[in-house]
């Protein structure tokens, strides 16, 4: 008999704020609720742009050039398109269903804007951005970039045509995830048809949560989590059962905690204050490269 992974709390979206002029986000952690900044480690930040309409605009909305060091940013596009450029010469468009996994590590500059065509037309926009911490030994490794289209994401088809599980990282029912990660991470995008039931296990010590991107889900036969809510699990038990109350999309996040000191300041996630100061010095000295605004 497997033990149930207990629900700690179902969190409604905290008040939204703008990131630049292109992203209207609910920050579930670390700022939105009074929870420890390592509570979801290795996930440090979850910004969720709940579905909304952007009116047409010729000049694309977004966030200008800014640095990152010490972690990875993962952007998941559910609706709308985001264009991206970085100081390593990478660029691309994150289309609906795609994922961009950027390893900032030793340091990178980037900018994130609505894609021009989307901006001119306007329309529904829905995104997730995660910041995933790196262990000390990998913080200063070279920057990297994984552009993962929806077609490239490994998929598990639920028997009986009941939906699809996109295995972004880790492994689900023998299907290995597509993204490379530095620490053990399970990340799935579950697209469930109405009344689909699915059960799975995640390690007890992994920090675990589920964002309800669309629809509504009954968790462990007990509590219903509506759209735009985040289900935070205790580090107790392993077994989760879900039942879609309507057609639903769920983002499952689970990872082995990084048990190291963490000093977070602005766009940098390091282990010590000295390393934060070094990051500012290196940034000001132009060591993060160059990128036109
Ligand atoms: Mn950024």
Ligand 1 centroid vs 24 CA: distance in angstroms? Answer: 14
175 token code pair: 């299907």
Q: How far is the CA of 103 from the centre of ligand 1 (A)?
A: 11
Ligand 1 centroid – CA 49 distance (Å): 14
Ligand 1 centroid–CA 75 distance in Å is 10
Rounded to the nearest angstrom, the distance between the alpha carbon of 224 and the centre of ligand 1 is: 33
CA of 183 to the centre of ligand 1 (A): 21
Instruction: Kindly state the tokens that stand for 213.
Output: 């991107």
CA distance 3 to 201: 9
State if pTM tops 0.95: yes
Rounded-to-integer distance, Cα 175 and Cα 290, Å: 39
CA of 66 to the centre of ligand 1 (A): 6
The rounded distance, in Å, linking the Cα atoms of 265 and 269 is 7
Alpha carbons 88 and 83: distance in angstroms, whole number: 15
How many whole angstroms from 133 Cα to the centroid of ligand 1? 14
Distance 211 CA to ligand 1 centre (A): 21
Cis upstream peptide for 96 (omega within 30°): no
**Residue whose token pair is 């490994």:** 154
How many Cα atoms sit within 13 Å of 61 on the Cβ side? 21
pLDDT in tens, the chain (293 residues): 579 999 999 999 999 999 999 999 999 999 999 889 999 999 999 999 999 999 999 999 999 999 999 999 999 999 999 999 999 999 999 999 999 999 999 999 999 999 999 999 999 999 999 999 999 999 999 999 999 999 999 999 999 999 999 999 999 999 999 999 999 999 999 999 999 999 999 999 999 999 999 999 999 999 999 999 999 999 999 999 999 999 999 999 999 999 999 999 999 999 999 999 999 999 999 999 999 98
Query: How close is the Cα of 53 to the center of ligand 1, in Å?
Result: 22
**Which residues are CB-neighbours of 34 under 8 A, at least 6 positions away?**
none
Tell me, in angstroms, the distance from the centre of ligand 1 to residue 68's CA: 7
């Amino acid at each position: 008999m497997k033990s149930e992974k207990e629900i700690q709390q179902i969190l409604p979206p905290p008040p939204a704020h703008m990131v630049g002029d292109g992203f209207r986000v609910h920050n579930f952690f670390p700022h939105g609720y009074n929870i420890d900044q390592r509570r979801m480690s290795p996930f440090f930040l979850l910004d969720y742009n709940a579905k909304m309409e952007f009116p047409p605009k010729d000049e694309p909305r977004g966030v200008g050039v800014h640095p990152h060091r010490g972690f990875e940013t993962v952007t998941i596009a559910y609706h709308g398109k985001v264009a991206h450029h970085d100081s390593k010469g990478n660029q691309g468009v994150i289309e609906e269903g795609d994922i961009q996994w950027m390893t900032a590590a030793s340091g990178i500059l980037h900018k994130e804007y609505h894609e021009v065509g989307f901006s001119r037309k306007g329309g529904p926009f829905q995104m997730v951005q995660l910041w995933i911490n790196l262990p000390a030994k990998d913080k200063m490794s070279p920057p990297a970039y994984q552009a993962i289209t929806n077609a490239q994401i490994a998929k598990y088809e639920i028997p009986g045509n009941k939906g699809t599980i996109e295995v972004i990282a880790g492994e689900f029912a023998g299907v290995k995830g597509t993204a490379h990660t530095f620490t053990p991470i399970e990340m799935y995008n579950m697209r469930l048809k109405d009344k689909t039931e699915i059960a799975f296990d995640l390690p007890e010590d992994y920090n675990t949560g589920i964002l309800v991107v669309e629809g509504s889900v009954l968790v462990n036969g007990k509590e219903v989590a509506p759209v735009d809510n985040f289900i935070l699990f205790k580090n107790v038990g392993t077994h989760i059962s879900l039942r879609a109350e309507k057609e639903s999309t769920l983002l499952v996040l689970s990872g082995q905690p990084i048990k190291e000191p963490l000093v977070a300041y602005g766009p940098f996630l390091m282990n010590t204050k000295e390393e934060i100061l070094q990051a500012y010095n290196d940034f000001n000295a132009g060591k993060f490269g160059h990128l036109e605004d």
